[in-house]
Amino acid sequence: MNGRDLLVSGWEFHPSVVAGCLLLLFVYLWAVQFRLNRATLLFVAGVVILFLALVSPLDSLGDDYLFSAHMAQHILLNILAPPLLVLGIPEELAAAILRWEPAARVERILRKPVTAWILGTATLWIWHFPFLYNATLVNEGIHIFEHLTFLVTGTIFWWPVFAPLPFSRISPLGSMIYLSIGATANALLGIIFTISATPFYSGYAHPEDELGALSLIREKWGLTQIADQQLGGALMWTFGSAIFFWAIMVMIARWLRESKKLGEI
């Protein structure tokens, strides 16, 4: 097997993932009356990233072979797709949903920065405890639950920054502080994996090799379990930090716009 063969054979179109993504996309498009604008494109991009994370070779490689593939998948599910989904929600749709009091009550709790930050960050760290992470590699139900919690708490984490309604958002300066602390927590976890010479996850020690890709990974790519773990950590703190940096830049731009408006009054 070579890399091209793996890229072709590693796709797994799980019916639940395909149906779930199509349903999410249809409900959203129906709710926005099938209007095509910047917000729609952002939401669709979020769904596409979610879909690719769960059906592409990242999923099969992360399940059986590579910690680094699993980390790339987690970055997509927890750090990249959620802000795009939140940015894709129009203000009028959010306002309509929050007119339902139970939804408004939950949103008032979850939009609090401390609550959102703890939920998003704790979920990321807790699922990387070895006993829980190894459980996701052998139990599909736990693995699905992990992915759902990443997506849900990732969305909660990004809500106070990019929420469609102004009263749900923290200030641009507050957002920069919030995101900087979040980036630090993400980078710290990645750095632990990058510098450690101890293998944390036994599930990657002796893969069952259902795809026949083990020799490609270990011999041609040179990814031992430790090298793979270190690569996964590097992906987490570099690419993850890049996404946080992008969001901070967006907040700086918003801050400058708001300052300019205040100066014109």
Which pLDDT score is estimated for 100? 94
pLDDT tens for each residue of 145-204: 999 999 999 999 999 999 999 999 999 999 999 999 999 999 999 999 999 999 999 889
Which pLDDT score is estimated for 111? 95
Which positions ≥6 away from 162 have C-beta within 8 Å? 83, 86, 87, 169, 247
- What integer best gives the mean pLDDT of the chain? 92
How far, rounded to the nearest angstrom, does the alpha carbon of residue 54 sit from its chain's CA centroid? 12
- Give the whole-angstrom CA distance, residue 132 versus residue 139: 10
Q: What is the mean pLDDT of residues 115-143?
A: 94
Query: Considering the entire predicted model, what is its pTM?
Result: 0.92
pLDDT tens for each residue of 38-56: 999 999 999 999 999 999 9
Q: Environment class of residue 63 by beta-carbon count within 10 Å: exposed (0-12), middle (13-18) or buried (19+)?
A: buried
